[in-house]
Chain A
Amino acid sequence: MRSDALIQIRSMTKRYETRAKETVLALTDVNLDIGKTEFLTVVGPSGCGKTTLLRILSGLESHTEGTLLIDGTVPSGPRPDISMVFQQATLLPWRTVLQNVLLPRQLQKTMSPQVVERARALLDMAGLSEFENKYPSELSGGMQQRASICRALICDPKILLMDEPFGALDAMTRETMNLELMRIWSAQKKAVIFITHSIPEAVFLGDRVLVMTPRPGRISRIIDVNIPRPRDRSSFANPVFNRICDEIREIFDTQGSGATNQENSNVKMAVSF
Protein backbone atom coordinates (compact mmCIF):
# COMPACT_ATOMS: atom_id res chain seq x y z
CA MET A 1 0.00 0.00 0.00
CA ARG A 2 1.40 3.36 -0.99
CA SER A 3 0.95 6.23 1.36
CA ASP A 4 0.49 8.82 -1.40
CA ALA A 5 -2.22 6.89 -3.27
CA LEU A 6 -4.54 9.15 -5.24
CA ILE A 7 -6.53 6.30 -6.70
CA GLN A 8 -7.36 3.20 -4.70
CA ILE A 9 -8.90 0.18 -6.40
CA ARG A 10 -9.92 -2.86 -4.37
CA SER A 11 -11.31 -6.13 -5.76
CA MET A 12 -12.89 -4.29 -8.66
CA THR A 13 -14.92 -6.32 -11.15
CA LYS A 14 -16.78 -5.24 -14.25
CA ARG A 15 -19.43 -7.38 -15.95
CA TYR A 16 -21.20 -6.61 -19.19
CA GLU A 17 -24.34 -8.16 -20.46
CA THR A 18 -24.30 -8.64 -24.23
CA ARG A 19 -27.39 -8.41 -26.40
CA ALA A 20 -27.56 -12.17 -26.44
CA LYS A 21 -27.95 -11.96 -22.63
CA GLU A 22 -24.52 -13.48 -22.06
CA THR A 23 -22.42 -12.13 -19.22
CA VAL A 24 -18.91 -11.04 -20.15
CA LEU A 25 -16.32 -10.54 -17.45
CA ALA A 26 -14.37 -7.52 -18.68
CA LEU A 27 -12.34 -6.98 -15.51
CA THR A 28 -11.88 -9.25 -12.57
CA ASP A 29 -10.38 -8.70 -9.11
CA VAL A 30 -8.36 -5.57 -9.87
CA ASN A 31 -6.33 -4.25 -6.94
CA LEU A 32 -4.26 -1.16 -7.56
CA ASP A 33 -2.98 2.04 -5.97
CA ILE A 34 -1.88 4.93 -8.11
CA GLY A 35 0.27 7.70 -6.71
CA LYS A 36 -0.25 11.47 -7.05
CA THR A 37 2.61 12.00 -9.48
CA GLU A 38 2.90 8.54 -10.87
CA PHE A 39 3.16 7.72 -14.55
CA LEU A 40 1.46 4.34 -14.88
CA THR A 41 1.43 2.59 -18.25
CA VAL A 42 -0.88 -0.26 -19.12
CA VAL A 43 -0.10 -2.88 -21.78
CA GLY A 44 -2.10 -5.84 -22.90
CA PRO A 45 -3.76 -7.35 -25.94
CA SER A 46 -7.25 -6.38 -27.12
CA GLY A 47 -9.95 -7.54 -24.76
CA CYS A 48 -7.76 -7.47 -21.64
CA GLY A 49 -9.99 -4.79 -20.11
CA LYS A 50 -7.50 -1.91 -20.20
CA THR A 51 -9.91 0.45 -21.97
CA THR A 52 -12.68 -0.64 -19.60
CA LEU A 53 -10.42 0.24 -16.66
CA LEU A 54 -9.81 3.68 -18.12
CA ARG A 55 -13.50 4.28 -18.85
CA ILE A 56 -14.37 3.39 -15.26
CA LEU A 57 -11.74 5.78 -13.91
CA SER A 58 -13.02 8.53 -16.23
CA GLY A 59 -16.57 8.12 -14.95
CA LEU A 60 -17.95 7.10 -18.36
CA GLU A 61 -18.81 3.69 -16.96
CA SER A 62 -19.29 2.25 -13.50
CA HIS A 63 -17.84 -0.92 -12.05
CA THR A 64 -19.93 -3.89 -10.94
CA GLU A 65 -18.21 -4.97 -7.72
CA GLY A 66 -15.46 -3.79 -5.41
CA THR A 67 -14.46 -0.29 -4.37
CA LEU A 68 -12.93 2.65 -6.17
CA LEU A 69 -11.72 5.72 -4.31
CA ILE A 70 -10.41 8.75 -6.16
CA ASP A 71 -8.81 11.38 -3.95
CA GLY A 72 -10.61 9.79 -1.02
CA THR A 73 -14.11 9.95 -2.50
CA VAL A 74 -16.34 7.54 -4.34
CA PRO A 75 -16.71 8.95 -7.87
CA SER A 76 -20.11 9.33 -9.49
CA GLY A 77 -19.62 10.16 -13.13
CA PRO A 78 -17.11 12.45 -14.88
CA ARG A 79 -15.38 15.07 -12.72
CA PRO A 80 -13.35 18.17 -13.55
CA ASP A 81 -10.17 16.93 -11.84
CA ILE A 82 -9.95 13.99 -14.27
CA SER A 83 -9.12 14.58 -17.93
CA MET A 84 -8.78 12.25 -20.84
CA VAL A 85 -6.89 12.03 -24.13
CA PHE A 86 -8.50 9.69 -26.65
CA GLN A 87 -6.96 7.58 -29.39
CA GLN A 88 -8.41 9.98 -31.94
CA ALA A 89 -7.75 13.65 -31.22
CA THR A 90 -11.56 14.23 -31.13
CA LEU A 91 -11.13 17.94 -31.75
CA LEU A 92 -14.30 19.63 -32.97
CA PRO A 93 -13.64 20.60 -36.61
CA TRP A 94 -15.76 23.78 -36.43
CA ARG A 95 -13.71 25.23 -33.60
CA THR A 96 -10.26 26.76 -33.86
CA VAL A 97 -7.42 25.11 -31.98
CA LEU A 98 -7.71 27.68 -29.18
CA GLN A 99 -11.49 27.26 -28.94
CA ASN A 100 -11.00 23.49 -28.79
CA VAL A 101 -8.51 23.79 -25.95
CA LEU A 102 -10.95 26.05 -24.07
CA LEU A 103 -13.94 23.72 -24.57
CA PRO A 104 -13.76 21.97 -21.16
CA ARG A 105 -13.67 25.34 -19.39
CA GLN A 106 -16.61 26.55 -21.45
CA LEU A 107 -18.60 23.42 -20.59
CA GLN A 108 -17.77 23.80 -16.90
CA LYS A 109 -18.55 27.54 -17.06
CA THR A 110 -15.18 28.52 -15.63
CA MET A 111 -13.98 30.79 -18.43
CA SER A 112 -11.90 33.85 -17.61
CA PRO A 113 -9.15 35.92 -19.21
CA GLN A 114 -6.63 34.00 -17.08
CA VAL A 115 -7.92 30.72 -18.50
CA VAL A 116 -7.40 32.02 -22.04
CA GLU A 117 -3.87 33.02 -21.06
CA ARG A 118 -3.29 29.54 -19.67
CA ALA A 119 -4.58 27.98 -22.90
CA ARG A 120 -2.10 30.09 -24.87
CA ALA A 121 0.70 29.06 -22.52
CA LEU A 122 -0.19 25.37 -22.97
CA LEU A 123 -0.28 25.75 -26.76
CA ASP A 124 3.07 27.48 -26.59
CA MET A 125 4.50 24.62 -24.55
CA ALA A 126 3.17 22.15 -27.15
CA GLY A 127 4.73 24.19 -29.96
CA LEU A 128 1.36 25.20 -31.36
CA SER A 129 1.25 28.91 -30.58
CA GLU A 130 1.24 29.84 -34.28
CA PHE A 131 -1.74 27.58 -34.86
CA GLU A 132 -4.19 28.81 -32.22
CA ASN A 133 -6.51 30.33 -34.83
CA LYS A 134 -6.27 27.45 -37.29
CA TYR A 135 -8.90 24.75 -37.66
CA PRO A 136 -8.02 21.12 -36.80
CA SER A 137 -8.17 20.04 -40.45
CA GLU A 138 -5.21 22.37 -41.13
CA LEU A 139 -3.06 20.47 -38.59
CA SER A 140 -1.13 17.23 -38.95
CA GLY A 141 -2.18 14.17 -36.92
CA GLY A 142 0.59 14.71 -34.38
CA MET A 143 -0.28 18.39 -33.95
CA GLN A 144 -3.96 17.53 -33.47
CA GLN A 145 -3.07 15.07 -30.75
CA ARG A 146 -0.84 17.65 -29.05
CA ALA A 147 -3.75 20.10 -29.13
CA SER A 148 -5.97 17.48 -27.52
CA ILE A 149 -3.37 17.04 -24.76
CA CYS A 150 -3.52 20.81 -24.19
CA ARG A 151 -7.31 20.52 -23.95
CA ALA A 152 -6.94 17.78 -21.35
CA LEU A 153 -4.58 19.99 -19.31
CA ILE A 154 -6.66 23.20 -19.42
CA CYS A 155 -8.62 22.19 -16.30
CA ASP A 156 -5.39 21.50 -14.45
CA PRO A 157 -6.54 17.95 -13.66
CA LYS A 158 -5.09 15.79 -10.92
CA ILE A 159 -5.42 12.71 -13.12
CA LEU A 160 -4.72 12.42 -16.84
CA LEU A 161 -6.10 9.36 -18.60
CA MET A 162 -4.60 8.51 -21.98
CA ASP A 163 -6.15 5.81 -24.16
CA GLU A 164 -3.56 4.82 -26.79
CA PRO A 165 -3.14 8.50 -27.65
CA PHE A 166 -0.35 7.90 -30.17
CA GLY A 167 -1.71 4.65 -31.60
CA ALA A 168 -2.90 6.30 -34.81
CA LEU A 169 0.38 8.12 -35.49
CA ASP A 170 3.27 6.89 -37.61
CA ALA A 171 6.30 5.45 -35.81
CA MET A 172 8.52 8.55 -36.18
CA THR A 173 5.88 10.99 -34.97
CA ARG A 174 5.06 8.59 -32.19
CA GLU A 175 8.63 8.64 -30.87
CA THR A 176 8.72 12.43 -30.95
CA MET A 177 5.38 12.55 -29.15
CA ASN A 178 6.70 10.25 -26.43
CA LEU A 179 9.63 12.61 -25.83
CA GLU A 180 7.26 15.61 -25.88
CA LEU A 181 4.95 13.96 -23.38
CA MET A 182 7.88 13.25 -21.05
CA ARG A 183 8.84 16.92 -21.22
CA ILE A 184 5.29 18.13 -20.54
CA TRP A 185 4.82 15.68 -17.68
CA SER A 186 8.12 16.65 -16.05
CA ALA A 187 7.03 20.29 -16.15
CA GLN A 188 3.71 19.65 -14.38
CA LYS A 189 3.61 16.31 -12.65
CA LYS A 190 0.27 14.60 -12.47
CA ALA A 191 -1.00 11.09 -12.10
CA VAL A 192 -1.02 9.70 -15.64
CA ILE A 193 -2.57 6.42 -16.68
CA PHE A 194 -1.42 5.64 -20.18
CA ILE A 195 -2.74 2.73 -22.24
CA THR A 196 -0.71 1.38 -25.13
CA HIS A 197 -0.24 -1.64 -27.36
CA SER A 198 3.47 -1.02 -27.60
CA ILE A 199 5.73 -2.59 -24.98
CA PRO A 200 8.72 -0.25 -25.64
CA GLU A 201 6.42 2.78 -25.32
CA ALA A 202 5.05 1.46 -22.02
CA VAL A 203 8.52 0.87 -20.60
CA PHE A 204 9.94 4.16 -21.83
CA LEU A 205 7.14 6.26 -20.32
CA GLY A 206 6.13 4.45 -17.17
CA ASP A 207 7.21 4.49 -13.56
CA ARG A 208 5.39 1.19 -13.39
CA VAL A 209 3.99 -0.99 -16.16
CA LEU A 210 0.71 -2.72 -15.56
CA VAL A 211 0.62 -5.93 -17.61
CA MET A 212 -2.91 -7.12 -18.30
CA THR A 213 -4.11 -10.37 -19.84
CA PRO A 214 -7.50 -11.20 -21.33
CA ARG A 215 -10.28 -13.77 -20.78
CA PRO A 216 -11.06 -12.58 -18.20
CA GLY A 217 -9.37 -9.17 -18.12
CA ARG A 218 -7.12 -8.94 -15.10
CA ILE A 219 -3.78 -7.61 -13.89
CA SER A 220 -1.07 -10.16 -14.58
CA ARG A 221 1.95 -8.29 -13.23
CA ILE A 222 3.01 -4.86 -12.13
CA ILE A 223 6.60 -4.10 -13.06
CA ASP A 224 8.69 -1.24 -11.64
CA VAL A 225 10.75 0.54 -14.24
CA ASN A 226 14.00 1.61 -12.63
CA ILE A 227 15.28 3.77 -15.43
CA PRO A 228 16.40 7.17 -14.12
CA ARG A 229 14.48 10.33 -15.01
CA PRO A 230 14.52 12.61 -16.88
CA ARG A 231 14.36 10.06 -19.67
CA ASP A 232 15.34 10.86 -23.23
CA ARG A 233 16.53 9.03 -26.34
CA SER A 234 19.48 7.54 -24.47
CA SER A 235 17.07 5.70 -22.15
CA PHE A 236 16.31 3.30 -24.99
CA ALA A 237 19.94 2.16 -24.83
CA ASN A 238 19.75 1.50 -21.09
CA PRO A 239 20.15 -2.29 -20.53
CA VAL A 240 17.31 -2.16 -18.01
CA PHE A 241 15.02 -0.97 -20.80
CA ASN A 242 15.56 -4.06 -22.93
CA ARG A 243 15.46 -6.41 -19.97
CA ILE A 244 12.02 -5.15 -18.92
CA CYS A 245 10.70 -5.26 -22.48
CA ASP A 246 11.79 -8.91 -22.73
CA GLU A 247 10.29 -9.67 -19.35
CA ILE A 248 6.91 -8.35 -20.49
CA ARG A 249 7.06 -10.22 -23.78
CA GLU A 250 7.72 -13.40 -21.84
CA ILE A 251 4.59 -12.87 -19.78
CA PHE A 252 2.49 -12.69 -22.93
CA ASP A 253 4.26 -15.69 -24.46
CA THR A 254 3.69 -17.91 -21.45
CA GLN A 255 0.11 -16.69 -21.24
CA GLY A 256 -0.33 -18.11 -24.71
CA SER A 257 -2.13 -15.03 -25.93
CA GLY A 258 1.02 -13.65 -27.54
CA ALA A 259 -1.00 -10.81 -28.94
CA THR A 260 1.25 -8.03 -27.79
CA ASN A 261 4.59 -8.73 -29.30
CA GLN A 262 5.88 -5.96 -31.49
CA GLU A 263 4.73 -7.45 -34.83
CA ASN A 264 1.19 -7.75 -33.64
CA SER A 265 1.01 -4.27 -32.26
CA ASN A 266 2.20 -3.03 -35.63
CA VAL A 267 -0.62 -4.93 -37.30
CA LYS A 268 -3.08 -3.30 -34.94
CA MET A 269 -1.66 0.09 -35.71
CA ALA A 270 -2.06 -0.58 -39.41
CA VAL A 271 -5.67 -1.60 -38.87
CA SER A 272 -6.40 1.50 -36.86
CA PHE A 273 -5.26 3.65 -39.77
Chain B
Amino acid sequence: MSRWRSRFEVLSLFVVFVIIWEIVVRFLEVPSYIIPAPSLILSRLADLFQSGLIWPHLITTGLTILSGLALGIVAGLAFGALIGVVPPAERLIYPYLVAMQTVPKIAIAPLFVLWFGYGITSKIVISALISFFPVLVSVISGLRAAERDQMDMMRVFGASRWQSFLHLRLYAALPTIFAGIEIASILAVIGAIVGEFVGAQEGLGYLITTLNFNMDVAGVFATLIILSAIGLSVHALARYLGRRMVFWRRADEKSAVLSH
Protein backbone atom coordinates (compact mmCIF):
# COMPACT_ATOMS: atom_id res chain seq x y z
CA MET B 1 0.00 0.00 0.00
CA SER B 2 1.31 3.44 -0.83
CA ARG B 3 2.39 5.77 1.93
CA TRP B 4 -0.11 8.45 0.98
CA ARG B 5 -3.04 6.09 0.82
CA SER B 6 -2.16 4.79 4.28
CA ARG B 7 -1.98 8.34 5.63
CA PHE B 8 -5.29 9.18 4.01
CA GLU B 9 -6.93 6.23 5.72
CA VAL B 10 -5.57 7.18 9.13
CA LEU B 11 -6.84 10.72 8.67
CA SER B 12 -10.26 9.51 7.46
CA LEU B 13 -10.67 7.47 10.62
CA PHE B 14 -10.03 10.61 12.68
CA VAL B 15 -12.54 12.67 10.69
CA VAL B 16 -15.22 9.98 11.06
CA PHE B 17 -14.58 9.84 14.81
CA VAL B 18 -14.92 13.65 15.17
CA ILE B 19 -18.14 13.71 13.14
CA ILE B 20 -19.72 10.96 15.27
CA TRP B 21 -18.62 12.85 18.41
CA GLU B 22 -20.24 16.05 17.16
CA ILE B 23 -23.51 14.24 16.26
CA VAL B 24 -23.72 12.36 19.56
CA VAL B 25 -23.08 15.47 21.67
CA ARG B 26 -25.71 17.51 19.79
CA PHE B 27 -28.27 14.75 19.55
CA LEU B 28 -28.07 13.76 23.23
CA GLU B 29 -27.67 17.42 24.33
CA VAL B 30 -24.62 16.62 26.48
CA PRO B 31 -23.80 19.77 28.52
CA SER B 32 -20.62 21.47 27.28
CA TYR B 33 -19.08 21.42 30.78
CA ILE B 34 -19.12 17.60 30.63
CA ILE B 35 -18.10 16.88 27.04
CA PRO B 36 -17.96 19.83 24.64
CA ALA B 37 -18.66 19.37 20.92
CA PRO B 38 -15.62 19.38 18.61
CA SER B 39 -16.90 22.56 16.96
CA LEU B 40 -16.93 24.34 20.32
CA ILE B 41 -13.42 23.12 21.14
CA LEU B 42 -12.23 24.42 17.79
CA SER B 43 -13.73 27.86 18.36
CA ARG B 44 -12.18 28.03 21.88
CA LEU B 45 -8.86 27.07 20.32
CA ALA B 46 -9.23 29.95 17.87
CA ASP B 47 -10.20 32.29 20.76
CA LEU B 48 -7.11 31.36 22.74
CA PHE B 49 -4.87 32.39 19.87
CA GLN B 50 -6.87 35.45 18.75
CA SER B 51 -7.04 36.90 22.24
CA GLY B 52 -3.30 36.30 22.60
CA LEU B 53 -4.02 34.65 25.96
CA ILE B 54 -2.20 31.49 24.95
CA TRP B 55 1.20 32.94 24.01
CA PRO B 56 2.86 33.51 27.41
CA HIS B 57 1.76 30.04 28.53
CA LEU B 58 2.84 28.40 25.30
CA ILE B 59 6.26 30.06 25.39
CA THR B 60 6.84 29.19 29.06
CA THR B 61 5.91 25.54 28.63
CA GLY B 62 7.81 25.25 25.33
CA LEU B 63 10.94 26.66 26.96
CA THR B 64 10.51 24.33 29.95
CA ILE B 65 10.19 21.26 27.73
CA LEU B 66 13.18 22.12 25.53
CA SER B 67 15.49 23.06 28.42
CA GLY B 68 14.34 20.12 30.54
CA LEU B 69 14.84 17.69 27.66
CA ALA B 70 18.24 19.16 26.80
CA LEU B 71 19.40 18.92 30.42
CA GLY B 72 18.01 15.39 30.75
CA ILE B 73 19.77 14.26 27.57
CA VAL B 74 23.11 15.83 28.50
CA ALA B 75 23.01 14.34 32.02
CA GLY B 76 21.85 10.96 30.70
CA LEU B 77 24.65 10.87 28.10
CA ALA B 78 27.30 11.92 30.64
CA PHE B 79 26.31 9.44 33.36
CA GLY B 80 25.61 6.69 30.82
CA ALA B 81 29.02 7.12 29.17
CA LEU B 82 30.72 7.13 32.59
CA ILE B 83 28.98 3.91 33.60
CA GLY B 84 29.51 2.32 30.18
CA VAL B 85 33.23 3.13 30.01
CA VAL B 86 34.27 2.76 33.66
CA PRO B 87 32.88 -0.60 34.86
CA PRO B 88 33.41 0.13 38.60
CA ALA B 89 31.19 3.18 38.23
CA GLU B 90 28.35 0.91 37.19
CA ARG B 91 28.78 -1.26 40.28
CA LEU B 92 28.80 1.78 42.57
CA ILE B 93 26.29 4.17 41.02
CA TYR B 94 23.80 1.97 39.17
CA PRO B 95 21.93 0.59 42.22
CA TYR B 96 21.27 4.16 43.38
CA LEU B 97 20.07 5.21 39.96
CA VAL B 98 17.66 2.27 39.86
CA ALA B 99 16.44 3.09 43.37
CA MET B 100 15.86 6.69 42.27
CA GLN B 101 14.01 5.49 39.20
CA THR B 102 11.55 3.51 41.33
CA VAL B 103 10.45 6.72 43.07
CA PRO B 104 7.53 8.20 41.10
CA LYS B 105 8.84 11.56 39.93
CA ILE B 106 5.31 12.94 40.02
CA ALA B 107 5.17 12.26 43.75
CA ILE B 108 8.29 14.31 44.43
CA ALA B 109 7.26 17.19 42.16
CA PRO B 110 5.89 19.22 45.12
CA LEU B 111 9.33 19.00 46.75
CA PHE B 112 10.99 20.50 43.71
CA VAL B 113 8.50 23.36 43.67
CA LEU B 114 9.33 23.89 47.34
CA TRP B 115 13.08 23.91 46.63
CA PHE B 116 13.20 25.78 43.34
CA GLY B 117 10.14 28.02 43.63
CA TYR B 118 7.03 28.70 41.60
CA GLY B 119 8.99 29.91 38.60
CA ILE B 120 10.20 28.01 35.57
CA THR B 121 13.29 26.49 37.27
CA SER B 122 11.42 23.85 39.28
CA LYS B 123 9.57 22.69 36.17
CA ILE B 124 12.76 22.44 34.16
CA VAL B 125 14.31 20.32 36.92
CA ILE B 126 11.31 17.98 37.03
CA SER B 127 11.22 17.71 33.25
CA ALA B 128 14.97 17.03 33.14
CA LEU B 129 14.82 14.40 35.86
CA ILE B 130 11.96 12.53 34.25
CA SER B 131 13.62 12.49 30.81
CA PHE B 132 17.04 11.63 32.25
CA PHE B 133 16.37 7.94 32.93
CA PRO B 134 15.39 6.62 29.52
CA VAL B 135 18.47 8.31 28.06
CA LEU B 136 20.73 6.92 30.78
CA VAL B 137 19.42 3.37 30.39
CA SER B 138 19.67 3.55 26.61
CA VAL B 139 23.29 4.75 26.75
CA ILE B 140 24.28 1.97 29.16
CA SER B 141 22.61 -0.78 27.15
CA GLY B 142 23.63 0.82 23.85
CA LEU B 143 27.32 0.78 24.77
CA ARG B 144 26.96 -2.99 25.25
CA ALA B 145 25.31 -3.44 21.86
CA ALA B 146 28.53 -4.04 19.89
CA GLU B 147 28.76 -7.70 18.92
CA ARG B 148 31.51 -9.87 20.35
CA ASP B 149 32.75 -10.65 16.83
CA GLN B 150 33.07 -6.95 16.08
CA MET B 151 34.95 -6.32 19.33
CA ASP B 152 37.32 -9.19 18.49
CA MET B 153 37.76 -7.79 14.99
CA MET B 154 38.79 -4.39 16.41
CA ARG B 155 41.29 -6.05 18.76
CA VAL B 156 42.81 -8.24 16.05
CA PHE B 157 43.45 -5.12 13.98
CA GLY B 158 45.19 -3.49 16.91
CA ALA B 159 42.53 -1.15 18.29
CA SER B 160 43.11 0.30 21.73
CA ARG B 161 40.24 0.46 24.24
CA TRP B 162 39.67 4.08 23.28
CA GLN B 163 39.70 3.30 19.55
CA SER B 164 37.20 0.49 20.06
CA PHE B 165 34.99 2.93 21.92
CA LEU B 166 35.31 5.68 19.34
CA HIS B 167 35.02 3.62 16.16
CA LEU B 168 32.72 0.80 17.27
CA ARG B 169 30.88 1.01 20.59
CA LEU B 170 29.77 4.60 20.17
CA TYR B 171 28.27 4.01 16.73
CA ALA B 172 26.75 0.68 17.77
CA ALA B 173 25.08 2.52 20.68
CA LEU B 174 23.49 5.28 18.58
CA PRO B 175 20.27 3.44 17.54
CA THR B 176 19.52 2.55 21.16
CA ILE B 177 20.44 6.02 22.41
CA PHE B 178 18.09 7.71 19.96
CA ALA B 179 15.29 5.33 20.94
CA GLY B 180 15.88 6.52 24.52
CA ILE B 181 15.87 10.17 23.44
CA GLU B 182 12.57 9.62 21.62
CA ILE B 183 10.96 8.33 24.81
CA ALA B 184 12.57 11.16 26.79
CA SER B 185 11.07 13.71 24.39
CA ILE B 186 7.57 12.58 25.36
CA LEU B 187 8.36 12.32 29.06
CA ALA B 188 9.80 15.85 29.06
CA VAL B 189 6.35 17.18 28.10
CA ILE B 190 4.71 15.19 30.89
CA GLY B 191 7.31 16.42 33.38
CA ALA B 192 6.75 20.06 32.48
CA ILE B 193 2.95 19.79 32.80
CA VAL B 194 3.11 17.88 36.10
CA GLY B 195 5.37 20.59 37.50
CA GLU B 196 2.92 23.27 36.41
CA PHE B 197 -0.01 21.38 37.93
CA VAL B 198 1.69 21.36 41.31
CA GLY B 199 2.33 25.08 41.47
CA ALA B 200 2.99 27.69 38.82
CA GLN B 201 2.07 31.18 37.71
CA GLU B 202 2.30 30.48 33.98
CA GLY B 203 2.35 27.64 31.49
CA LEU B 204 -0.08 25.34 29.75
CA GLY B 205 -0.40 23.11 32.85
CA TYR B 206 -1.32 26.16 34.87
CA LEU B 207 -3.79 27.23 32.15
CA ILE B 208 -5.48 23.80 32.24
CA THR B 209 -6.00 23.95 36.01
CA THR B 210 -7.39 27.48 35.75
CA LEU B 211 -9.77 26.64 32.87
CA ASN B 212 -10.86 23.48 34.65
CA PHE B 213 -11.60 25.50 37.79
CA ASN B 214 -13.82 27.79 35.69
CA MET B 215 -15.64 24.78 34.17
CA ASP B 216 -14.35 25.85 30.75
CA VAL B 217 -14.01 22.25 29.56
CA ALA B 218 -13.84 23.25 25.89
CA GLY B 219 -10.88 25.44 26.81
CA VAL B 220 -9.22 22.49 28.57
CA PHE B 221 -9.66 20.35 25.46
CA ALA B 222 -8.28 23.16 23.29
CA THR B 223 -5.19 23.39 25.51
CA LEU B 224 -4.77 19.61 25.38
CA ILE B 225 -4.72 19.84 21.58
CA ILE B 226 -1.94 22.42 21.78
CA LEU B 227 -0.05 20.23 24.24
CA SER B 228 -0.23 17.15 22.09
CA ALA B 229 0.87 19.25 19.09
CA ILE B 230 3.95 20.29 21.10
CA GLY B 231 4.58 16.70 22.16
CA LEU B 232 4.29 15.44 18.58
CA SER B 233 6.63 18.15 17.27
CA VAL B 234 9.32 17.46 19.88
CA HIS B 235 9.03 13.75 19.25
CA ALA B 236 9.16 14.25 15.47
CA LEU B 237 12.29 16.36 15.87
CA ALA B 238 13.96 13.67 18.00
CA ARG B 239 12.98 11.01 15.48
CA TYR B 240 14.22 13.06 12.54
CA LEU B 241 17.59 13.69 14.20
CA GLY B 242 17.82 10.00 15.09
CA ARG B 243 17.24 8.92 11.52
CA ARG B 244 19.80 11.37 10.22
CA MET B 245 22.42 10.17 12.69
CA VAL B 246 21.66 6.44 12.38
CA PHE B 247 21.53 6.52 8.58
CA TRP B 248 22.66 2.92 8.17
CA ARG B 249 19.56 1.49 9.83
CA ARG B 250 16.43 0.58 7.89
CA ALA B 251 14.04 3.54 7.70
CA ASP B 252 10.86 1.55 8.31
CA GLU B 253 11.51 0.78 11.97
CA LYS B 254 8.68 1.73 14.27
CA SER B 255 8.86 4.51 16.79
CA ALA B 256 10.21 3.45 20.17
CA VAL B 257 7.52 5.29 22.12
CA LEU B 258 4.62 2.85 21.85
CA SER B 259 6.74 -0.20 22.54
CA HIS B 260 7.78 1.25 25.87
Contacts and interface: CB of A to CB of B under 8 A. Distances in A.
B156 A84 contact: yes
Contact of A137 (B149, B153, B168, B248): B248
Contacts of B171: 92, 94
A86 interface: yes
B111 interface: no
Interface in B140-168: 147, 149-150, 152-159, 163, 167-168
Contacts of B155: 59-60, 78
Contacts of A216: none
Nearest to A108: B158
A27 B155 CA distance: 23
A41 B154 CA distance: 24
Contacts of A82: 156
Contacts of A79: 158
B158 A93 contact: no
B149 A88 contact: yes
Interface residues of chain B: helix, strand, loop or mixed (majority): helix
Contact of B154 (A58, A59, A107): A107
A59 B157 contact: no
Contact of B156 (A78, A92, A94, A135): A78
A92 B169 CA distance: 11
A103 B157 contact: yes
Given A80-B158, A104-B158, A107-B159, A93 B248 contact: yes
Contact of A104 (B150, B157, B248): B157
Interface residues of B, number: 17
A90 B147 CA distance: 9
Interface string A59-102: 11000000000000000001110111011101011100000000
A273 to B, nearest CB: 16
A135 B248 contact: yes
Sorting the interface of chain A by its residue count into under 10, 10 to 19, 20 to 34 or 35 or more gives 20 to 34
Interface string A239-252: 00000000000000
Contacts of B150: 90, 92
Contacts of B167: 92, 103, 106-107
B152 A60 contact: yes
A86 B158 contact: no
A86 B150 CA distance: 9
A58 B163 CA distance: 19
Contacts of B156: 58-60, 78, 82-84
Given A60-B155, A92-B168, 19 more contacts: A58-B156, A78-B157, A78-B158, A79-B158, A83-B157, A84-B153, A84-B156, A86-B149, A88-B147, A88-B149, A90-B149, A92-B150, A94-B171, A103-B167, A107-B154, A107-B157, A107-B158, A108-B158, A155-B157
27 contacts: A60-B152, A60-B155, A60-B156, A78-B156, A78-B157, A79-B158, A83-B156, A83-B157, A86-B149, A90-B147, A90-B149, A92-B150, A92-B167, A93-B248, A94-B247, A94-B248, A104-B157, A104-B158, A106-B167, A107-B157, A107-B158, A107-B159, A107-B163, A107-B167, A108-B157, A135-B248, A151-B157
